[in-house]
C-alpha cells in the first residue's frame, strides 16, 4: 500500500501518517510492518541495526539508529531501551532518573559516516533527548524525531 501521489506531495515527510499511527498505536499496540515501511522509507536516510549511542547500548534489547542527510548536513537519531541488568531479561533497568525512563531517543549532529557506514558523531553534543516508558512510544518517538530533523533540516527543541 502506497500513499496517493497528491498526498505524498502535500505531506512529503509522512507527518499525516505519523499522526494516524500515533492514534492507532494508542488503541491497538505496536506498528505493523506496512506502517513502519511508510514511516522510514525515505531517500537520504540510512538505517543502522545496532545501538548508536549510550555507553551500555550493547546491553539494550531495543535499539533504532538512523543517519539522516538533509540540506548537506548529517544528523544521527538514536533510540535505545530495555537495558538488561546482567544480561537477564527479567531485570530491566531505567536509563534516566525517572522511574519510567526505560527508553531514550537522542539526536546528534554528525559529520557523516566512516568507511563502514557507521555514523561519525560526538556523543557529548546531543541536540535533543526524550525518554519514554514503553517500546511503542519509543518507536513512534524515534520516527517523530527523524521526521522533525528531515522537515526542519535541523533539530527542534528538547521537549517531546
Residue 23 lies in a domain: no
Q: Do the bridges between strand 128-132 and strand 45-48 make them parallel or antiparallel, or are there none, so unpaired?
A: unpaired
Number of domains the chain is built from: 1
pLDDT band at 87 (very low <50, low <70, confident <90, very high): low
Q: Return the bridge partners of 39, or none.
A: none
57 φ, ψ (degrees, to nearest 5): -55, -30
DSSP label at 57? G
Convert the pLDDT of each residue in 118-144 to its tens digit. 888 888 888 888 999 988 889 888 988
Percent of the chain with pLDDT over 90: 8
**Cα–Cα distance, 115 to 98 (Å, whole number):** 38
Residue 3 falls inside a structural domain? no
What DSSP state is assigned to residue 145? H
Instruction: Assess if residue 157 is contained within a domain.
Output: no
Domain span including residue 54: 44-152
Amino acid at each position: 500500500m502506497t500513499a496517493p501521489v497528491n498526498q505524498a506531495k502535500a505531506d512529503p515527510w509522512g507527518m499525516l501518517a505519523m499522526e494516524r499511527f500515533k492514534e492507532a498505536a494508542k488503541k491497538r499496540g505496536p506498528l505493523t510492518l506496512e506502517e513502519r515501511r511508510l514511516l522510514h522509507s525515505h531517500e537520504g536516510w540510512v538505517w543502522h541495526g545496532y545501538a548508536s549511542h549510550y555507553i551500555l547500548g550493547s546491553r539494550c534489547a531495543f535499539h533504532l539508529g538512523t543517519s539522516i542527510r538533509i540540506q548537506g548536513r548529517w544528523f544521527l537519531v538514536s533510540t535505545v531501551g530495555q537495558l538488561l541488568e546482567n544480561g537477564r531479561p527479567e531485570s530491566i533497568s531505567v536509563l534516566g532518573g525517572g522511574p519510567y525512563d526505560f527508553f531514550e531517543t537522542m539526536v546528534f549532529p554528525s559529520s557523516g559516516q566512516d568507511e563502514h557506514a557507521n555514523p561519525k558523531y560526538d556523543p557529548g553534543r546531543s541536540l535533543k533527548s526524550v525518554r519514554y516508558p514503553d517500546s511503542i512510544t519509543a518507536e513512534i518517538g524515534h520516527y517523530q524525531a527523524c521526521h522533525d530533523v528531515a522537515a526542519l533540516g535541523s533539530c527542534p527543541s528538547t521537549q517531546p
